[in-house]
Structure 1
Amino acid sequence: MGDYSPSFYVRALFDTPWKAHNSIIRHLMIPVARLKFALAGIPWRRGWLLYGLPVLLKHRQSTITLGDRLSLRSTLRSNPLAPNHPVVLCTWRAGARIIIGDDFGMTGGSIVAEQEIVIGNRVTIGANCTIMDTDFHPLDPQARYERPYDAATAPVRIEDDVFVGMNCLILKGVTIG
């Protein structure tokens, strides 16, 4: 067992000063983050840790449900793997759903639902991953010209206790776990 006395935490503060900086900024941003989530119609939950502000692109007639103890790292300084952009949560169309369980963590990356993306409990998504349930545009060139928004979609499921490594791309119709 490690020494988790107060002196351990003081020593860690001096050994890793960027963590102190991240913690101060995170606490200062809580009111802004709470307002941002409220304006998007996403209720604030217990134990959330946000490092930087995620991008919330929510269709008014869609649902984003996030569980307790969420951790979203959206800044370069928040993780040594350096996310290349903030976390993006996007519901692209009316009726789209993103449902994420408890104890979820993500560094950078995007989750884009046109239909439905369900992520279970205790899931970790590595830096710069993209999860999407749509092709965004038809693959056929003629269809892209005639019906540019008529793309194939299929739900995505990531079950409990999954760890997705960094820079992964998870496409429509996939189930992991």
Structure 2
Amino acid sequence: MNSNWFKILMKVTKVEYGKNLLLKGMPVIFNKGGATLSIGDNCTIKSSFLSNLVGLYLRTIIVTRASEAEIVIGNNVGISGATIYARKSVHIGDNTCIGGNAKILDNDFHPIEWETRNRLLNDPNGGDSDLIPAKPIVIGKNCFIGCNSIILKGTILGDGCVIGAGAVVSGKFESNSVIAGNPARVIKKLEG
């Protein structure tokens, strides 16, 4: 089922999108007031079980959570049942494929220290707080993010990187690297 009517709701929350955006199923795409969320031309976002038979167990979720957050998705990007969640920024380059159930998270969701977590519980901003550690994520052009992988805060992937299924990725990686494991490491270099 194509969900083109959902584009009306996207416009209400000031999500910018380019030509030929294809929505399969019902994604959750939400842009917090003051934040920026833009999707390029010719992108496909799959959010239903039958739209990707790798076994999607969630709808695609793309959310800016803080008023100054930014998500920028390039042209010709494919996303299947993934979560992209930004408090600072997530930039995804052109021609990148994001596999089923992948998570791209530029923050820790909660502070590590229990005292800070308790302060956050009493935050009058309802969790829209600088108490939560966050660092920008940059994913280059022509990358492939394997299913069930997790891209953590501060990660920088050069152009042409491939992330293996189930990898937990943190750090800076050169272009054309094949990255796999937990913790993820470079297992091969591709000719580029």
TM range, normalised to the smaller chain? 0.7 to 0.9
- Higher helix fraction (1 or 2): 1
Deviations 1:135-154 (A, max 9, x none): 11110112211235411110
Letter in 2 for 1:115: K
The corresponding residue for 1:158 is: 139
Q: Deviations over 1:65-88 (max 9, x none)?
A: 110011100000101112111110
The alignment's TM-score, normalised by the length of structure 1, stands at 0.81
Deviation of 1:57 (Å): 2.3
| 2:35 is the alignment partner of 1:54 | no
Question: Higher strand proportion, which one?
Answer: 2
Unaligned stretches of 5+ in structure 2?
122-128, 159-192
Q: What SS does the corresponding residue of 1:46 show, helix, strand or coil?
A: coil
Match of 1:45 in 2: 18
Q: Which has the higher contact order (CA 8 A, sep 6+)?
A: 1
Q: Which amino acid aligns with 2:12?
A: L
Q: CA deviation at 1:42?
A: 1.8
Check if 1:89 corresponds to 2:62: yes
Question: How many Å separate the matches in 2 of 1:83 and 1:36?
Answer: 23
Query: Within the alignment, does 1:117 sit opposite 2:124 as a pair?
Result: no
Counterpart amino acid of residue 175 in structure 1: I
RMSD: 1.2
CA apart distance, 1:34:
2.1
1:172 to 147, 153, 167: 153
- Deviations for 1:100-151, whole angstroms, at most 9, x for unmatched residues? 1001001002100000101110000000001011111110112211235411
How many corresponding residue pairs? 150
2:41 is equivalent to residue 68 of structure 1: yes
Verify the 8 A CA contact 1:75 1:82 in the aligned structure 2. no
Give the TM-score normalised by structure 2.
Answer: 0.75
Runs of 4+ displaced beyond 4 Å = none
Max Rg structure? 1
Cα distance in 2 for residues equivalent to 1:89 and 1:37: 11
